[in-house]
Amino acid sequence: MNDSDIKELERKKTKLLNGMTEYMSGGNADVKSEAAELSRFWFSEDVRGGDKAFDAGYTAEDVKKCDKILREFTDSLQKLGVAASQSQILECVKSAILNLNKLNESVDGCLIETEQREELFEFIDFAARRSGLQTKEADITEQWREW
């Protein structure tokens, strides 16, 4: 992956994580959190806009866990370098998907909804193909994905 690819992955990840955070906040448009700021984001009445009844089913801590999984995924691909084999790249994909499955299961499937599913797939597929994965398979996550 080159610098441009890495910037694009960061953009995609930030969009995904911000969407999760915004939904968790009850749609409060004033909540704008970059991925790097997630550690300062607290799931409180103020963040939720005072809607005590709203419960997204996950917390800011779960969003941070998702961020960590995605960072570990891209870090593992970068460590493989340009000589990465197809099986090594797919092993990184598999590991990320299995970790996302566990995380989503821990919050009863609330973290990864339709929009997040599409954005996660796009992020993972982009990273894997930019790292050298060559496949005609349309969905490289399907065999492991439970969301």
The ranges assigned to domains in the chain are: 3-130
**Whether pLDDT at 26 is above 80:** no
**Whether pLDDT at 52 is above 90:** no
pTM of the full structure? 0.76
> In this structure, is the dihedral angle defined by the CA atoms of residues 126, 132, 137 and 142, taken in order, positive or negative?
negative
Q: Which of 14-18, 50-54, 63-67 has the least mean pLDDT?
A: 50-54
Indicate the pLDDT class of residue 48, thresholds 50, 70 and 90.
Answer: very low
The 8 Å CB, 24+ separation contacts for 39-45 are: 39/64
**Whether pLDDT at 106 is above 90:** yes
pLDDT value of residue 54 = 64
Q: What is the mean pLDDT of residues 96-113?
A: 95
Indicate the pLDDT class of residue 53, thresholds 50, 70 and 90.
Answer: low
- What's the pLDDT tens digit per position in 71-98? 999 999 999 988 899 999 999 999 999 9
- Among 144, 114, 11, 137, CA closest to 70: 11
Q: Which of 29-43, 65-79, 87-101, 108-122 has the least mean pLDDT?
A: 29-43
Distance CA 22, CA 31 (A): 6
Distance CA 116, CA 2 (A): 25
